[in-house]
Amino acid sequence: MVDRATSAGESSKTLDRGIRLLELLLTPDAAAGLTITQLAAGLEVGRPVVYRLVATLEQHRLVVRRDGGRVRLGFGLTRLAAGVTPVIQTEALPVLRRLADACGATAHLTVADGDQALALVVVEPTWTDVHVAYRSGARHPLTQGAAGRAILAGRAGRFEVVATDGELQSGAHGLACPLQPSTPAAPTLDASVGVVSFEPLAPEVSPRLLAAARTLGELLR
């Protein structure tokens, strides 16, 4: 008779190893793929274990073996990733709508994509005559603009409001804050929430931005 507790524990361990294998293939050093030996060293397991993991992930097109057996990420991941954005948009839109209308400025949720900041969700205020037009899908370096700088601040553990003027658009004033986890150990999206306006932003915008960062940090764990 199979011990259910043991079976569940082994299944969890296998799943954990499979996820860690995918994470190894996401690193910059894995751009050309990794060998079975390299993956075994990274996971600290034997080669037979890695062969079994790779075979299973290949069946789901999450990895492929090319170039002399090197393992690379597969296009099956794009199907999984495509389902994430609508979920994030659904959760973020009400928060950004309240923020945009309260501040009278265009609000945005920006995520890290490699070394770039990607505007994933953008909401313009409903009552202003003039506001910044900010396109969803717009990109810029993480080192420029309040949104990107806020993401970098969050990676350094600084959950604070970052301000910039005219870095991405002449005459525009931006404020952004990294998403804040509910606890220091809790995971959250590598992202920031911000507002941008042609007018200098009022002092009360910062507390509203921090509140939105806490709310989104909890929603988008």
What's the mean pLDDT in 196-202?
A: 94
Give the residue from 79, 103, 137 where a domain finishes: 79
What's the mean pLDDT in 214-219?
A: 94
pLDDT band for 185, please (50, 70, 90 cuts). Answer: low
Residues 48 and 107 in one domain: no
Q: With pLDDT > 70 as the criterion, what percentage of the chain qualifies?
A: 94
Q: Measure the CA–CA gap between 171 and 24, rounded to whole angstroms.
A: 42
Residues 135 and 95 in one domain: yes
Pick 209 or 5 by higher pLDDT: 209
**Nearest residue to 24 (alpha-carbon basis) of 12, 10, 38, 14:** 38
Structure token digits, residue 29: 């050093």
Residues 197 and 110 in one domain: yes
The CATH number for 58's domain is 1.10.10.10
Question: What pLDDT shows up at residue 92?
Answer: 96
Give the residue from 12, 47, 79 where a domain finishes: 79
Residues 196 and 88 in one domain: yes
Contact residues for 129 (Cβ-Cβ < 8 A; gap 6+): none
Give the residue from 79, 110, 133 where a domain finishes: 79
The number of angstroms, rounded, from the C-alpha of 6 to the middle of its chain's C-alpha atoms is 34
Q: What total number of domains does the chain contain?
A: 2
Question: What pLDDT shows up at residue 11?
Answer: 64
Residues 69 and 122 in one domain: no
Contact 166, 180 (CB under 8 A): no
Eight-class DSSP state of 116: E
| Domain of residue 158, residue span | 83-219
Residues 122 and 161 in one domain: yes
Pick 112 or 78 by higher pLDDT: 112
Contact residues for 42 (Cβ-Cβ < 8 A; gap 6+): 20, 21, 24, 34
What's the mean pLDDT in 155-171?
A: 94
What's the mean pLDDT in 32-38?
A: 94
Residues 68 and 113 in one domain: no
Residues 186 and 97 in one domain: yes
Question: What pLDDT shows up at residue 83?
Answer: 84
Residues 35 and 92 in one domain: no
The CATH number for 206's domain is 3.30.450.40
Residues 99 and 65 in one domain: no
Contact 209, 177 (CB under 8 A): yes
Q: Measure the CA–CA gap between 198 and 35, rounded to whole angstroms.
A: 52
Q: With pLDDT > 90 as the criterion, what percentage of the chain qualifies?
A: 71
Question: What pLDDT shows up at residue 181?
Answer: 83
pLDDT band for 8, please (50, 70, 90 cuts). Answer: low
- Tell me: the pLDDT tens digits for 94-126? 999 999 999 999 999 999 988 899 999 999 999
Residues 173 and 204 in one domain: yes
Structure token digits, residue 138: 């717009």
Residues 98 and 154 in one domain: yes
Task: Tell me the pLDDT of the chain averaged across its residues.
Answer: 90
Question: What pLDDT shows up at residue 2?
Answer: 42
